[in-house]
Chains A and B, each alone.
Chain A
Amino acid sequence: MANMNLYSRNDRIFVIVNMVLIGIFTISTLYPFIYIASLSFSSGFEARAGNVILTPIETTLEAYKYILSERMFWVSYGNTFIYTIGGTIMSLLFLIPGAYALSRPQIYGRRFWNLLVAFTMWFNAGLIPFFLNMRDLGLLDSYFGIIIGFAVNGFNLILLRNFFEGVPSSFEEAARMDGANDFQVLVKVYMPLAKPAIATVALFCIVSRWNGFFWAMVLLQDEDKIPLQVFLRHTIVTLSDDQQFTATLVNASYSVETVSAAIIVCSIVPVLIIYPFIQKYFEKGILLGGVKE
C-alpha cells in the first residue's frame, strides 16, 4: 500500500504495537507444535516428569522406534493414503463435470439444480439418517463407502461452479465452432483454464480426507480398514487409560506422552509438506467461492 512517510508519529507507534500483538499471537499458535515435537524426541522419563518445555531433553528416538514397529500404525497410515487419494479423485470426478454443467446457462432448470445444491448447505438430515442410509446402501465397513459417501460437497461444488461461470463464454463458443463436443470443451479448454480452482478444491479434499475421523470411526468396524486419525485417537485417548501399556513403561525410555507426540508428528508431516501448495491456493479459493450464495 502507501509508504511510511504518509503517517505521523502516533501512527508509527500504532504500527509497532500492532506488529508486536501479531507476533504474540503467531508465537502462541506455533508453540504447541514445537512443544509436541520436543516431547516426541525426549525420553519418557523427562516427559513424565514434566520437564520438557521448549526443546527436547535427553534426546532419543525411542518413541518413534516404538510406533514404527506397531503394525497398526502402518496399516492405518496406508489406509489414510487410500482414502485421501481415492476420495480426492472420486470428488473431482463428480465435482468437475457437475460444477461445469451447473455453470452452463443453457441447461433447463438451472435455478432448480443450483437450489438442489444450495439447500444441502442449509439443511442437513443429521447423523442418524445419514448413518442408517449408509447402512441401507451396504456401505458400512467398506473402503468404497468412505470414498463415495463424502465425494460431493456443496461448498466445493459452488466454488468450482463460480469459477466456471467467470470464464468468458466465448471460450466455449470458440471451441464449439472448432468442432469440440461438450466433454472436449470441458477437458481441453475449461479444465486447463480452471487449474487454480481445481487445485484449490483438490487441496481442500486432500486435507479433509487426511483429517477425517468421525465418520471413519462410526462407519468402520474392521480394524484393518481404519485410517490414521482413528488409530491416533485410539492411541491418544485410550492409551493413557490402558493399565497394561502403562505397566510396560516402567523401565522404558518412552512414555504415553512421547508416543502420542510421535504419532502426532508423523501425521502432521504430510500436511506440512503440502501446506505451501494449500497456502498458494486457498486465499484465492475462499475468494472465488465464498462470496456468491
Chain B
Amino acid sequence: MSGVKLESIVKAYGAVQVVHGIDLEVKEKEFVVLVGPSGCGKSTTLRMVAGLEEISDGTLTIDGKVVNRIAPKDRDVAMVFQNYALYPHLDVAENIAFGLRIRKESKENIEKAIKDVAGILGLENYLERRPADLSGGQRQRVAMGRAIVRRPKVFLFDEPLSNLDAKLRTQMRAEIKRLHQRLGVTSIYVTHDQVEAMTLADRIVVMNDGRIEQVGSPMELFLNPVNAFVAGFLGAPPMNQIQAVISGGDAAPIAEFAGQQFTLPPLPGLQNAVGRKVIVGIRPEYATPQTKAVEGSVSCTLELVETLGSEALLHTTIGGEPFVIRTETLGNMDQLNAVNGFTADPALIKVFDAETGVALSGQLRVA
C-alpha cells in the first residue's frame, strides 16, 4: 500500500528548528493538502518527503519502507514545482520523456508513455513546442505530464497553481481533481490558498509555525476548527473573531463585548467560565443581517456594501472592530443599505479561549 507516513519529522538548519516534529499519515490514494501561511513549514515538509531536504529527525515511510536516507530518484515519487521547472531547451515531448530517458527505458515504451500522457492531458498538438511557446496553463499541464509519466507511487505538488491567473487556476484545480480521481495516486499538495485546499483535499492539514494545527476533512475543519487559527484560516471571507468576556450563568452563558451581549450555547467548555476572556467566532455566512432590533440581535454600523451579484459582503463595525456579514442580495439593495444589526444561531457560534485560542465550544456534526 503506497501510503506516506511521517513520524515526528523535524527540520532544523543548524540549531534553528523550523519544523517541530510532524506526525501525519497519508493513506493510499488519498489527496492530502498542506495549507498554511507562508513560512509555516509546509513546503519544507513536502520537500522532505520528496528527498530534496534532509530530514533532521524522525522517520519517513513511503509504501512501508523507511526512506529517510534514500535519494529522491529512488523514492518513486514525482513532484510538480511552483515554477514548473520545465527544461527550456527541450520540447514538450522531451520534457515529459526526460525521466524515462534518464532511467534508460526502451524507445517504444517512452513513445507509448508520451502518447498516453499527452492524451490524458490534451497535449497531443503541442508535443514539438518549446516551453517558451506555451501558455501558462499548457506549461502547467506539461509539468503534470512529467510527473505522471513515470507512474510514481506518490505525487507531490508544491503550490503548482500559484503562477496562474484566477480563472485558469479554477480550471486547473478541477483538472487536478479529475486527474486524481482517474489515476488514484496518493497525493500531497501544498498551497497557501485555502480555496484550493477546501476544493481539492480529501483531508486538509493546517500548519502554522512548523506545527500541525489540525487535520481533517474540509468540512470538519470548516465546522469544527480546534482553535482560532484554523477558524481564521479556512473560509472566505474569514471567520469574524470578536474579543469578549463571559457573563451570565452556566445554563445560559452570555458573551459581552463593546457594551453588547450575545447569547452563547450552553457548552461544556463554558462551565464556570464567568469572567473568562474569550474570542467569539461567527462566520460571515452564519450572521443574518437585520434592519431593526429583534430579539437577540446585535447592532452594528454598516460601513460598506460589496456586491458580488447574487451575494453581498456587508462590511460593518461593532465598537470599532470590523465585522463582515455575507448575505444573499435577492436584488434588494435598499434592504442591504438599511442593515444595522444581525442575529446568529447560537449553535453555529464558535468560542475560543482568548489566551490559547483553543476552541471551547462543542462539536458540530458534519452533515
Contact = CB atoms under 8 A, between A and B. Distances in A.
A193 B85 CA distance: 12
A193 B87 CA distance: 8
Interface stretch (A5-13, A168-176, A224-232): A168-176
Contact of B88 (A170, A188, A193): A193
A20 to B, nearest CB: 43
Given A170-B81, A170-B82, A177 B87 contact: no
B83 A168 contact: yes
B238 interface: no
B102 interface: yes
A170 B102 contact: no
A207 interface: no
Nearest to B152: A177
Nearest to A171: B85
A192 interface: yes
A178 interface: yes
Given A173-B81, A174-B79, A184-B102, A179 B87 contact: no
Interface in A135-193: 168, 170-171, 173-181, 184, 188-189, 192-193
Contacts of B81: 170, 173-174
Given A192-B89, A193-B89, A178 B83 contact: no
Contacts of B98: 175, 178, 188
Contact residues of B: prevailing secondary structure = loop
What range describes how many residues of B lie at the interface? 20 to 34
A178 B150 CA distance: 9
A176 B72 contact: yes
Contacts of B83: 168, 170
Interface in B51-76: 51-52, 71-73
Contacts of A180: 73, 102
Contacts of A177: 50, 52, 72-73, 77-79, 99
B73 A179 contact: yes
B146 interface: yes
A180 B150 CA distance: 14
A87 to B, nearest CB: 27
A173 B81 CA distance: 9
A181 B71 CA distance: 10
B103 interface: yes
Among A176, A184, A192, the one with the most B-chain Cβ atoms within 10 Å of its Cβ is A176
Interface residues of A, number: 18
Contacts of A181: 73
Nearest to A195: B89
A228 B50 CA distance: 56
Nearest to A168: B83
A170 B87 CA distance: 10
A168 B85 contact: yes
B185 to A, nearest CB: 15
Among B51, B52, B77, B150, the one with the most A-chain Cβ atoms within 10 Å of its Cβ is B52
Nearest to A181: B73
Contacts of B88: 193
A58 to B, nearest CB: 55
A23 to B, nearest CB: 40
A163 to B, nearest CB: 14
B91 to A, nearest CB: 13
A173 B79 contact: yes
Contacts of B99: 177-179
A31 B102 CA distance: 56
Given A174-B79, A174-B81, A179-B99, A189 B73 contact: no
A184 B73 CA distance: 13
Interface in B291-345: none
Nearest to A185: B102
A262 B93 CA distance: 54
Contacts of A168: 83, 85
A176 B85 contact: no
Nearest to B52: A173
Contacts of B77: 177
Interface in A188-234: 188-189, 192-193, 195
A284 B108 CA distance: 42
Contacts of A178: 73, 98-99, 102, 146, 150
Contacts of A193: 87-89
A192 B50 contact: no
A214 to B, nearest CB: 39
B130 to A, nearest CB: 12
Nearest to B81: A170
B87 A192 contact: yes
Contacts of B89: 192-193, 195
A175 B72 CA distance: 10
A180 B104 CA distance: 11
Contact of A189 (B52, B78, B87): B87
A129 B3 CA distance: 63
A179 B103 contact: yes
A168 B52 CA distance: 14
A169 to B, nearest CB: 9
Interface of A: 168, 170-171, 173-181, 184, 188-189, 192-193, 195
Top 9 A-B pairs, shortest CB-CB distance: A178-B99, A174-B85, A192-B89, A170-B85, A179-B73, A179-B102, A170-B81, A177-B79, A179-B103
17 contacts: A168-B83, A170-B83, A173-B85, A176-B51, A176-B71, A177-B52, A177-B72, A177-B73, A177-B78, A179-B73, A180-B102, A181-B73, A184-B102, A189-B87, A192-B87, A192-B89, A193-B88
Given A175-B102, A179-B102, 15 more contacts: A168-B83, A168-B85, A170-B83, A170-B85, A175-B87, A176-B72, A177-B73, A177-B79, A178-B73, A178-B98, A178-B146, A181-B73, A193-B87, A193-B88, A193-B89
